Amino acid sequence: MTADAPIPLKHVTLLQLEAMLLSSIAMPLEMLEALRARLRLRTSTRRQANFVAEVGQYSVTGEQPQPLGGLVLEGQRSVLDIADTDVIIIPALWRQPEKYLTNAKPLLDWLITRFQQGATIVAIGSGVWLPAKAGLLNGLPATTHWHSLAAFTAMFPKVKWQHDHLLTQAGRIFCAASINSGADLIIHLIGLNYGRDLALQVEQQFSPEVRNPFEKRVFQADSAMQHADEAIALAQSWLHQHMNEVLSLPLLASLADLSVRQFSRRFVMVTGETPVRYQQRLRCMAARDWLQNSNLGLADIASQLGFSDASHFGRVFQRWAGVTPGVYRNQVRRKIFAVSPSSEIT
Domain assignment of residue 328, yes or no: yes
Note the pLDDT of residue 181. Answer: 86
Statement: residue 232 has pLDDT above 90: no
Statement: residue 132 has pLDDT above 90: yes
- Higher model confidence: residue 203 or residue 264? 264
Could you read off the pLDDT of 253-290 as tens digits, one per residue?
A: 998 899 999 999 999 888 878 999 999 988 998 898 88
**163 and 252 assigned to the same domain:** no
What's the 3-state SS for 124-191? EHHHHHHHHHCCCCCCCEECCCHHHHHHHHHHCCCCEECCCCCEEEECCEEEECCHHHHHHHHHHHHH
**125 and 20 assigned to the same domain:** yes
**91 and 143 assigned to the same domain:** yes
Domain boundary among 168, 195, 220: 220
Domain assignment of residue 338, yes or no: no
pTM of the model: 0.65
E strand segments, the chain:
11-17, 52-58, 87-90, 120-124, 141-142, 160-161, 167-170, 173-176, 218-220
| Summary mean pLDDT of the chain | 83
Q: Which residue from 165, 22, 182 is spatially nearest to 87, judged by alpha carbons?
A: 182
Domain assignment of residue 133, yes or no: yes
Do 161 and 215 contact (CB within 8 A), yes or no? no
| 42 secondary structure, DSSP code | S
Mean pLDDT of 48-67: 78
CA–CA gap between residue 169 and residue 184 (Å, rounded): 13
**215 and 235 assigned to the same domain:** no
Q: Give the CATH number for residue 191.
A: 3.40.50.880
Mean pLDDT of 299-317: 93
Confidence of residue 339 (pLDDT cuts 50, 70, 90): very low
**153 and 249 assigned to the same domain:** no
Note the pLDDT of residue 345. Answer: 36
Confidence of residue 109 (pLDDT cuts 50, 70, 90): very high
Q: What is the domain range of residue 308?
A: 230-333
**138 and 234 assigned to the same domain:** no
